[in-house]
A and B are shown apart, each in its own frame.
Chain A
Amino acid sequence: MKKFFKKINFRELGILYALIILWVLLFATNRTFRDADIYISILREGSILGICGIGMTFCIASRHFDQSIASMMALLACVYTALLTKLAPSAGGAGIFISFLCVMALSVVLGAFNGFLVAKLRIPAFIATLGTLYVYRALAYIVSGGDPVIINQIVSKEQYGFFRTIGMGSFLGLPVSFWIMLICAVTGTVILRKTKLGRHTLAIGNSVSASRISGINIDRTKIYIFTLVGAFVGVGTILNAAFLGSSNPGMSAGYEFVVISTVVLGGTALSGGKGSIFTSIAASIFLVTVTAGMNAFGMDSFAQRVVQGVILLFAFSINGIRAAMENRRVKSEATKHAKATKASASDNG
């Protein structure tokens, strides 16, 4: 146990402290936050965001970006409901399971395709995923014919109960999506900390050329990273579709920015080489709490946009702030050191 705590770097957990303090503040000042319902609701929404953030943590830690995930979510959700429409009435529970597997398989393919563009065709990730952002979104419109699908209307009553449980239900007092997020987070952490893929991800983020010299297969690692992004987005999509009870081709627009922001707010450096899934998830719950808190206080919605913008700017400037402070610390220590040497020199003299 002691060993376990020794491994945790408490200095890196800033976002977790911020989350706890925010919850204490809200608990003290707002009656809504003295009821368990609001926390469950926050965890439910934060878990979906967190799951999408797991893959993105790998991506950003390797110094890449995936802008296509919101479009990917829309496409996967549209395919999912299209499959459910066909399979759920005829094949029952097996149909739902097959739809689920197909969506997961497709999410892996979509992610791997992004990775292929980046690794093999040498398109910068920023541009490659911008391209697939449009392609996946357009495919979502084609698959769905532009129409929304309401899950309640395509499955039987008992089957809908199952979707309600995934989307809105609880297990042992906590949302089902939270438990699924925990499983995903542990999986993600093990991959990042314990496997070759995880170490290679961080190595690429630190320095591509150094990684190449040390014999890391960079192309393959990049493809795996984007595949991971896709896979976690697939899980997130299934939870999100159950949460919303529907799909539509225009859904989740702008979600990629929210996911990238949570990962960065969680302390994964945009400059790569460093990342933590635990703090990414804490950050996603933090962001959802801020929104819920602002709503609970009835804050004007234009002011809400300002606050969200400021938090994001803060998240993206963490690196700069950290570098500036590090700089100052080094300088002040250098002066101290110089003074000390001077003093000892004059003592001797």
Chain B
Amino acid sequence: MKVRKLLVLLLVIALAFAVGGCGKTDDTGESGSNDSENTVSEDGMTIGFSVYDMQYEFFQSMEAGTKSQVEAMGYNYILHDQKSDETQMVSGAINLINQGVDALIISPCKPESLSSIVDAAKAKNVPVIVDDIGGGGTDYDAIVISDCFQGGQQAADYTVELLAGNEGSKKVAIIKCEPSAVYAIRRGEGYKENIEKAGFTVVKELSGHSKSEEGYTIMQDLLASDPDLVAVFAENDPMGVGAANALADAGRDDIIIVGFNGDAEAIDAMKAGTMQGTVAQDPESMGKLTVQLADTLLTGGTLDYDDPTTREIFAPVNLIKSGDVQ
């Protein structure tokens, strides 16, 4: 009886590995070696990528970019999915290092738990490139993040362009993320710099804690305190969409709203005409960039940081205008 139970269990596992193995063979088209499809092969170097969660479109694009660049540069590739779980993140990334990857790229689901991983990598002299999210104050080699400041500037320039010839007031407002979201805060700073250069004044900067419903209530408050606003910038799309809904509910269509992220809900709002623009991050080119950085380190080069103190390297962002989505 026990034996039978055991057999069933083993069958399940054998099946599992068979499925996994087949999938891998299909992907790479290599079936020459029957010895462990996904371990580091003797020839050539390997880059491991530990991804946040493949359930999300953002990270699917990031993974696609990373994988294509790794293969284009002639490295072997190993993927690990953290599935948004910090234990999986730490043990999986450390196992990648145990498997002998030559460089580790990681988009951490919990940046605060990066220290164990970076320590393990440093002990084996494996360079670590962080892709987006945050570095958790660790000793990583580089972190790639979207150029938020420049994205904010693009949003401001676009707003000015839309408002050309407008006879209204020169008042604008910014709905900010929580103060701990250090990268998102730069979006507002970039926006503020360029919009003030163009002669506008930022009359209010309020925190909506990245939440849609707070974007809605803040917009209501803004309408009450400053009904003559001409434009609003939201540091992320959920708040931008919330603000756009508040405007629509109040029957106002004369205020320009630009968000940040390129979320599907923002694109929908732009199609409906309640929002005028959003700044999209480009996870695919971020993924490609991380591989180029890893390659530079593996071939003995040095990195050219955009901010040497935090070892940040910026990835370009794209402004999406309402005309682009119709």
Asked whether A14 lies within 8 Å of B12 as measured between CB atoms, the reply is no
**Residues of A close to B116: CB separation below 8 A:** 164, 167-168, 243-245
Question: Nearest chain-A residue to B51 (Cβ)?
Answer: A301
Q: Which of B2, B16, B21, B95 contacts A11 (CB 8 A)?
A: B2
Q: Which of B36-84 contact A (CB under 8 A)?
A: 36-40, 54, 78-81, 83
Question: Nearest chain-A residue to B113 (Cβ)?
Answer: A244
The distance from the CB of A326 to the nearest CB of chain B, in whole angstroms, is 8
Asked whether A244 lies within 8 Å of B12 as measured between CB atoms, the reply is no
**Residues of B close to A153: CB separation below 8 A:** 137
**Residues of B close to A321: CB separation below 8 A:** 5, 8
CA of A35 to CA of B37 in the docked complex: distance in angstroms?
Answer: 16
Q: Known: A41-B91, A251-B86, A296-B36. Contact between A246 and B112, CB under 8 A?
A: yes
**Residues of B close to A44: CB separation below 8 A:** 91
CA of A45 to CA of B37 in the docked complex: distance in angstroms?
Answer: 24
The distance from the CB of B155 to the nearest CB of chain A, in whole angstroms, is 28
**Residues of B close to A38: CB separation below 8 A:** 95, 98-99
| Interface: A126 (CB within 8 A) | no
Q: Known: A21-B10, A150-B112. Contact between A294 and B83, CB under 8 A?
A: no
**Residues of B close to A245: CB separation below 8 A:** 112-116
Looking at chain A's contact residues, the main secondary structure is helix
> What's the A-B contact tally at a CB cutoff of 8 Å?
167
| Interface: A322 (CB within 8 A) | yes
Q: Which of A297, A301, A305 contacts B38 (CB 8 A)?
A: A297
Q: Known: A300-B20, A302-B54, A303-B19. Contact between A311 and B98, CB under 8 A?
A: no
Q: Mark A25-50, 1 if CB is under 8 A from B, else 0.
A: 10001111001011001001100000
Q: Mark B119-153, 1 if CB is under 8 A from A, else 0.
A: 11000000000000000111000000000000000
Q: Known: A41-B95, A150-B136, A243-B116. Contact between A295 and B1, CB under 8 A?
A: no
CA of A11 to CA of B2 in the docked complex: distance in angstroms?
Answer: 7
CA of A254 to CA of B10 in the docked complex: distance in angstroms?
Answer: 26
Asked whether B36 lies within 8 Å of A147 as measured between CB atoms, the reply is no
| Interface: B35 (CB within 8 A) | yes
**Residues of A close to B279: CB separation below 8 A:** none
| Interface: B316 (CB within 8 A) | no
Asked whether A291 lies within 8 Å of B4 as measured between CB atoms, the reply is no
Q: Which of B12-32 contact A (CB under 8 A)?
A: 12-14, 16-17, 19-21, 23-24
Asked whether B91 lies within 8 Å of A298 as measured between CB atoms, the reply is no
CA of A164 to CA of B83 in the docked complex: distance in angstroms?
Answer: 25
| Interface: A292 (CB within 8 A) | yes
Question: Nearest chain-B residue to A164 (Cβ)?
Answer: B119
The distance from the CB of A317 to the nearest CB of chain B, in whole angstroms, is 10
Q: Which of A247, A299, A322 contacts B16 (CB 8 A)?
A: A299
The distance from the CB of B162 to the nearest CB of chain A, in whole angstroms, is 36
Q: Mark B161-188, 1 if CB is under 8 A from A, else 0.
A: 0000000000000000000100000000
The distance from the CB of A236 to the nearest CB of chain B, in whole angstroms, is 11
**Residues of A close to B9: CB separation below 8 A:** 14, 18, 311, 314
**Residues of B close to A304: CB separation below 8 A:** 20, 81
Q: Which of A29, A45, A303 contacts B23 (CB 8 A)?
A: A303
Interface contacts beyond A32-B39, A295-B95: sample of 4 additional A-B pairs, CB < 8 Å, sorted by A: A18-B10, A147-B180, A244-B113, A300-B20
A sample of 8 inter-chain contacts (CB < 8 A) reads A25-B17, A32-B39, A150-B112, A246-B112, A252-B86, A291-B88, A297-B20, A298-B37
What residues of chain A have their CB less than 8 Å away from a CB belonging to chain B? 11, 14, 17-18, 21-22, 25, 29-32, 35, 37-38, 41, 44-45, 147-153, 164, 167-168, 240, 243-248, 251-255, 288, 290-305, 307, 310-311, 314, 318, 321-322, 325-326, 329
| 8 closest Cβ pairs, A-B complex | A299-B20, A298-B38, A301-B81, A246-B112, A148-B112, A37-B98, A30-B36, A307-B16
